[in-house]
Structure 1
């Protein structure tokens, strides 16, 4: 698949993995849950492994443990092929409404790790993220507890999700940060020091975080992998979605970026991506991923899908070579209208 298939390091001295991972959240919750199909999702995870994808991303909160159990079933006979990433520090209070709270207490995190190990059916987690920083617990305390679990052999490497540059630096001073996971795409560029027209929220436990600067630059300087989630804008950048086309319970049904007004105001983004896609005989999804992969050598996006067809489509993005003019045009796209949480 060309030089973009050259493996990228998951943090300084960490395992080298293929440049695209697989995000598994949507297999369990968040999007069109009425179409959830565990057997099909397991086949997609295994197809990803067959294609050489190694980084498989899940979290305890996705379906309140369902997603970890699903991933565990998918990799049961393929453990050596997968680099398993999961997350803790978020706790589901009510599954139907997705109400949750943050809990970064050391005692809680120890319990979260043990529960994830059991659900995944493995004896060591390759990459464990603090899913969100608990405002009631200094990040240094949460991180120190996770570092102890590395020393105990429960975890191989540690990551942070949706943090500020200050929080990342504070953690890194205690124990190496292998990866930062944050939302980054052509319509969410907050980790580059930009913000959307309406700044991201944060009033909910799973809400986003202001990075407080160029978080991507920090990861590059510190040899930390950057793992963008929602690299296709939660499906928006595929150009296939319409306002009002989401079922009840779908995250996007009540999200500010998926209103009719937002679709209209963000149309310039999808139109430019479509123009570049046409020039390459490619799909908008492939162009969005190619832009991310070109952005930095430590970038390892994790597009999610429940479709083997879309999986193959995403992997084909590794063959696309954008021209300098195309990269510049995409980078100059306006910031997205609407808060992301």
Structure 2
């Protein structure tokens, strides 16, 4: 496994986003299946594992704490504060006192005394980012976090936060079909020495090519509320897959491998964190770090799937109010 850097850490070029082991995409896998995914990731050379207080309302952190505790010294463990479940409801709360309490609870669930990269999951519009990051910086000084990150924020917010404490990583959605980071965030990260951690690098499963009928999504699958997965938009988006899969076939690789390789070629400071609930799918993710793409291939992919060719917004209007990223 090739490596890249996040702050003081050398991490695998492909990390593992662990959200879907407990949260978001319908019924999560069993504990045994989740254990197989995590073991397979470790055996495949993945060292970066990403979770959050929100995922499963703490269940995901507990799962990782139980299953990864024996491997704690060989992995980089990241989690997020500032958005969590309160009485069964998702709440964004970036107040310093809430952040402190949330991180204490996360440390217990994760069965560790320090979080390697602590992210602010969402910017609280009622709290200045300087105040939230200031509280997180206090946790670094207290030895409860080693580095800080932000999630789903703009380049302007990143710079404001970085003035308070160095920001090791900015995490946001980035893939062939979500290009918002190309507006300003990627360049801001380059300027500041901040790594860019790309979540949903497989377009929430779209680029895997297996989801052809969105009516089969479970009722609680969060994609049901995303415009791009609405039937009228998804029918248009499916037409993009034939060309994409043809490129993967030409390169003798899985579509997900090609999607991740494209991301890795966008900059040395980019670290994708795909997720999976199937251990048999891991190898196609891991080998993406080895796949070299020439300029002609990159050009064809860029022309095929981009913000002009994808139909529908990535978030609903309500969810869009909760994020701070640049929009086209």
TM range (shorter): over 0.9
Between the aligned partners of 1:107 and 1:334, the Cα distance in structure 2 is: 41
Match of 1:208 in 2: none
In the alignment, structure 2 segments of 5+ residues that lack a partner are: 316-328
TM-score, normalised to structure 1's length?
0.89
Match of 2:127 in 1: 137
Which one of 222, 226, 246 corresponds to residue 192 of structure 2?
222
Tell me, yes or no, if the aligned pair for 1:89 and 1:134 is still in contact at 8 Å: yes
Which one of 99, 109, 114 corresponds to residue 119 of structure 1?
109
Match of 2:94 in 1: 104
- Partner of 1:321, secondary structure, is coil
Q: Which moved more, 1:79-88 or 1:317-326?
A: 317-326
- Partner of 1:78, secondary structure, is helix
Match of 2:313 in 1: 339
Runs of 4+ in structure 1 deviating by more than 6 angstroms, as ranges, are none
In the alignment, structure 1 segments of 5+ residues that lack a partner are: 194-213
How much has 1:320 moved relative to structure 2? 1.5
Aligned residues: 311
- Partner of 1:306, secondary structure, is coil
Which one of 228, 234, 242 corresponds to residue 204 of structure 2?
234
Deviations 1:16-61 (A, max 9, x none): 111000000000010121x521121122112211221111000000
How much has 1:294 moved relative to structure 2? 0.6
Establish whether residue 52 from structure 1 lines up as the match of residue 26 from structure 2: no
More helix by share: 2
Between the aligned partners of 1:149 and 1:93, the Cα distance in structure 2 is: 22
Match of 2:234 in 1: 263
- Partner of 1:337, secondary structure, is coil
- Partner of 1:173, secondary structure, is helix
Deviations 1:215-244 (A, max 9, x none): 011111211111000000110111110221
Between the aligned partners of 1:221 and 1:274, the Cα distance in structure 2 is: 35
- Partner of 1:63, secondary structure, is helix
How much has 1:93 moved relative to structure 2? 3.7
Match of 1:188 in 2: 178
Deviations 1:94-127 (A, max 9, x none): 54xxx41210000000001100000000001101
Which one of 41, 48, 64 corresponds to residue 34 of structure 2?
41
Establish whether residue 85 from structure 1 lines up as the match of residue 78 from structure 2: yes
